[in-house]
Amino acid sequence: MNETKVKVVTADPSALGLFGLAMITLVASSQKLGLTSGVSFVIPWAIFLGASAQLMASINDFKHNNTFGATAFGGYAFFWYSVGLVWLIQNGVFGQALASTIDVKQLGFAYLGYLIFTLYMTIGAMETHKVLFIIFVLIDCLFIGLTLSSFGIMSEATHTFAAYSEMLIAVFSFYGSAASVLNAHFGREFLPVGKPFGIFKK
């Protein structure tokens, strides 16, 4: 009896994940920078691009046995699901009783946790490519700004620092997504992303 082996090929999900990150940080930073107001039209992008697109990328990176990519995309996916829920609570969607008991410092601790997460992921990003490393450094800056702002430490300055960091995350994530798509599509380095640092992995 002949056995037929079928190899299932899963495409690299990085382009979709980075596009999702780029879209939500672009829209969210526009609100932080005062270019737009409110979060009503930010929430859909948080749920579908920031969260769901990155979750899809995470699931497929697990199939690639890519622990780093799966953890990164999954971690930030659930961050944006949580942020979307926070905005819904703040806007009274679940009732004024819940909205009236908000303590912003709890967000500060959540941002601090994500800063810790991002710091060790930044070390991992050093051995992927330089564009991704830059994105992680900017995410570090974003969480530093959000954490300090939520704890009331130089609130205006740290909020602005977070806003510009978030806008730059969008710029570099669009580039990273484009490089991931076009380099794979053309089978060559169409857009350079920079080599790994080669410090921790030889």
What is the per-residue pLDDT across 37-79, written as a single tens digit (0 to 9) for each?
A: 999 999 999 999 999 999 999 999 999 999 999 999 999 999 9
pLDDT band at 201, cuts 50/70/90?
A: confident
Contact 136, 121 (CB under 8 A): yes
What is the per-residue pLDDT across 88-117, written as a single tens digit (0 to 9) for each?
A: 999 999 999 999 999 999 999 999 999 999
Taking only Cα atoms into account, the Rg of the chain, rounded to an integer number of angstroms, comes to 18
Identify the CA nearest to 121 among candidates 163, 53, 69, 194.
69
CA 115 to centroid of chain Cα atoms: 12
- What the block records as the tokens of 101 is 């008991």
